[in-house]
Structure 1
């Protein structure tokens, strides 16, 4: 069994596609197919079921996948040890992210990381493509991501560990002509009959809002689902609903009014999550240190709720 065979197998298993696995590995699809066939021949069993629509793991494939990942992680750790001696960080960093991170400037973070560690290849996955924060957590557990910015209220789920980064209050955002726009603050009970613009289930700010309404014994109607905070403000501006958005999402001249909610826990948390079942790579550890430095600078430049 060769490492290249295991790398191809893991890529096909995670992508559920020979085509996407080939693109990820920067090789032609025929090379991936031949490598998988050689691995199956060596193990005397079929690892993948191929149909015209999908690729799925057999029972043998399911048994091999965690062992293959562990083997690749061990090789990565060995390379990291050598790179540490030689004074460099190499490899690949796979980062998951939410569509918005509030005051955390992810492009600036990644740009600085690239300048400091040019030998590391960075790949970015979004919550929208993974199914929100729960999908990012699952990708961490399965080894498809090295770390991820997530938003899940409460304690970390099994299989991951995280550090809390920031917490931002959610304010009610309404059009300037809305019946509540003249108030200085709003109680949650005043919103029971409103149509809401909100994120899909699984997103952190949606979970915070759903929990607050459930705790208050109130129901609400989500009329429009979005995946970007800016889209929420646009829909509200055109009178299609109200929204609970992170404080600071709206400006003074955009035709919107932001109102604090009284007496409720409506704080949107952002955490940096890493897998709990394996050690972080040198590249992931370097990125975590960079995030910590960035947040210290942010806290000096503007107050945060934490």
Structure 2
């Protein structure tokens, strides 16, 4: 197969009409350029240039391959430009898998900054309700980076983002709303807006409650943490909700639990050498787990 260097020499010679001029343009010696042309002719099995007393001109084969040679060089230049742009964080496609409860509170500010400063990067987002589903997306090659609670099984390279608190969401006129905090044991017998079995948060919360001798009584179930919070605010029960799933406009009441449950939030990737993934992961880490002031006011 012809090398790009050989094709570059052919194009340069035919553009210049002279081996001497082409060699000067490419900063090659004439023997080196002639060697490249010779290698191309051996590959094709026929001459591409006709040597004249003063200069050169293409043979029929030389004319036939010239357009494709230019196209190959142009494509190679695009490869370099694209690769450098992606390496610099200015282009490419980034596929993110995220726990649904963390999209608004954790990822949205980072995604907004990337959209503003890196408009050439196409981002696709897949939300899941299970940390193990995030691992599966990575292993299946469907995502480049995953953000969520620490999964039950490790996969790839994991990096801590922070810890998120689980709080109690409820209607503003709920009897528990008068308290500064609520012991987990006091949830026994209360109607709870709980989580669908597909949402790993539900099983984990059941384990946390069981550690304190309490069973959560599900009055209804949903797959979405943000939905659970809104249903609780509407008076359908109480809900245990990660702070990352709450927005600053949440209309219900929030109370801390005693003891306060926390869970680790991590990013995990398969290819740590990918510069675009590294940049995004770094931005998520620097963002960290933050709680809007409006929600802190509700918890104070």
> What is the TM-score when the length of structure 2 is the normalising length?
0.59
Aligned to 1:146: 144
The offset of 1:242, in angstroms, is 0.8
Q: What CA deviation, in whole Å up to 9, does each residue of 1:30-82 have, x standing for no partner? A: xxxxxxxxxxxxxxxxxxxxxxxxxxxxxxxxxxxxxxxxxxxxxxxxx7998
Cα 1:103–1:193 change in 2 (3 A) is: same
Q: What CA deviation, in whole Å up to 9, does each residue of 1:94-131 have, x standing for no partner? A: 1012223288452332243244444432211111xxx5
- The counterpart of 1:282, out of the listed 269, 275, 279, is 275
Cα 1:121–1:191 change in 2 (3 A) is: same
The offset of 1:240, in angstroms, is 1.5
Alignment partners' CA distance in 2, 1:166 and 1:204: 19
3-state SS, counterpart of residue 283 of structure 1: helix
Aligned to 2:99: 98
In the alignment, structure 1 residue 107 sits paired with structure 2 residue 105: no
3-state SS, counterpart of residue 100 of structure 2: coil
3-state SS, counterpart of residue 260 of structure 1: strand
The offset of 1:253, in angstroms, is 8.7
Check whether the contact 2:209–2:215 (CA below 8 A) recurs between aligned residues.
yes
Alignment partners' CA distance in 2, 1:228 and 1:274: 24
In the alignment, structure 1 residue 183 sits paired with structure 2 residue 179: yes
- RMSD over equivalenced CA pairs, Å: 3.8
Cα 1:223–1:101 change in 2 (3 A) is: same
3-state SS, counterpart of residue 125 of structure 2: strand
Cα 1:142–1:280 change in 2 (3 A) is: farther
Check whether the contact 1:204–1:268 (CA below 8 A) recurs between aligned residues.
no
Cα 1:252–1:180 change in 2 (3 A) is: farther
Paired residue total: 216
3-state SS, counterpart of residue 284 of structure 1: helix
**Any unmatched runs of 5+ in structure 1?**
1-78
Check whether the contact 2:99–2:148 (CA below 8 A) recurs between aligned residues.
yes
Alignment partners' CA distance in 2, 1:179 and 1:86: 54
Alignment partners' CA distance in 2, 1:80 and 1:134: 37
In the alignment, structure 1 residue 259 sits paired with structure 2 residue 252: no
Q: What CA deviation, in whole Å up to 9, does each residue of 1:261-306 have, x standing for no partner? A: 2235x1143221212xx4442221121122234339x69x99x9xx
- The counterpart of 1:233, out of the listed 220, 229, 234, is 229
Alignment partners' CA distance in 1, 2:134 and 2:205: 20
> What is the TM-score when the length of structure 1 is the normalising length?
0.58
Check whether the contact 1:274–1:280 (CA below 8 A) recurs between aligned residues.
no
The offset of 1:138, in angstroms, is 0.8
In the alignment, structure 1 residue 157 sits paired with structure 2 residue 153: yes
In the alignment, structure 1 residue 201 sits paired with structure 2 residue 197: yes
Check whether the contact 1:194–1:221 (CA below 8 A) recurs between aligned residues.
yes
Q: Superposed, which structure 2 residues align to 1:40-79 within 5 Å?
A: none
Check whether the contact 1:250–1:258 (CA below 8 A) recurs between aligned residues.
no
3-state SS, counterpart of residue 240 of structure 1: coil
Check whether the contact 2:157–2:272 (CA below 8 A) recurs between aligned residues.
no
Cα 1:279–1:293 change in 2 (3 A) is: closer
Cα 1:252–1:179 change in 2 (3 A) is: farther
